[in-house]
Structure 1
Amino acid sequence: MSKKAKGVISNQLRKKRFEKDEMTQQQLAKAIGVTRQTIAAIEAGKYSPSLEVAFCLSDIFASPLDELFQWQANDSDTSKV
């Protein structure tokens, strides 16, 4: 059972920041206790947030997790499970 799930996590953080009075990455980072670089990496899809960070983001934007983050599995990988 060492197979690693493969897929893509997309997010709506940039959109949500702009909907919330054009909040900057720095303001968001400070509000949840991470660096601006962490927010930039999450928005760019280069880094997946921890559950703690994801729940903090959900609280900040008053949005459910599935509205902030979406998972798209690779079709070729689902047949091997």
Structure 2
Amino acid sequence: MPINSNLRSARITLDMSQNKLAEAVGVSKQTIVAIERGDYSPSIKLSKTICKVLGKSLDELFGEENGNEV
């Protein structure tokens, strides 16, 4: 699974730490780290929650056109 640089970039653009994102979506910091590294595929529910917090669409953060697997 490729590294999710779109998620990391969106998070950093909002000046949000991995810990703050984790708190906002109700998961551990380790979960966010694993998603960004490409070691973990989040559920659709978690993906949508992350997108809502970051103000991005599913395609922008997790879509195939961005080099990510869906």
TM normalised by structure 2 equals 0.82
Q: Partner amino acid for 2:26?
A: G
Task: Name the larger-Rg structure.
Answer: 1
Identity across aligned pairs (percent)? 42
**Which ranges of structure 1 fall in alignment gaps of 5 or more residues?**
1-7, 74-81
Q: Which has the higher contact order (CA 8 A, sep 6+)?
A: 1
Out of 24-33 and 62-71, give the one that drifted further: 62-71
Equivalent residue for 1:64, pick from 27, 38, 57: 57
Q: Which residue of 1 aligns with 2:40?
A: 47
Residue-pair matches, total: 65
Residues 1-81 of structure 1 correspond to what in structure 2 (within 5 A)? 8=1, 10-11=3-4, 12-20=6-14, 22-71=15-64
CA contact (8 A) 1:9 1:48 kept: no
In 1, Cα distance between the equivalents of 2:49 and 2:57? 11
**Which ranges of structure 2 fall in alignment gaps of 5 or more residues?**
none
Higher helix share: 2
4+ residue stretches of structure 1 with deviation over 4 A? none
CA contact (8 A) 1:58 1:64 kept: yes
What secondary structure is seen at the aligned counterpart in 2 of 1:63?
A: coil
CA distance 1:17–1:58, shift in 2 (3 Å) = same
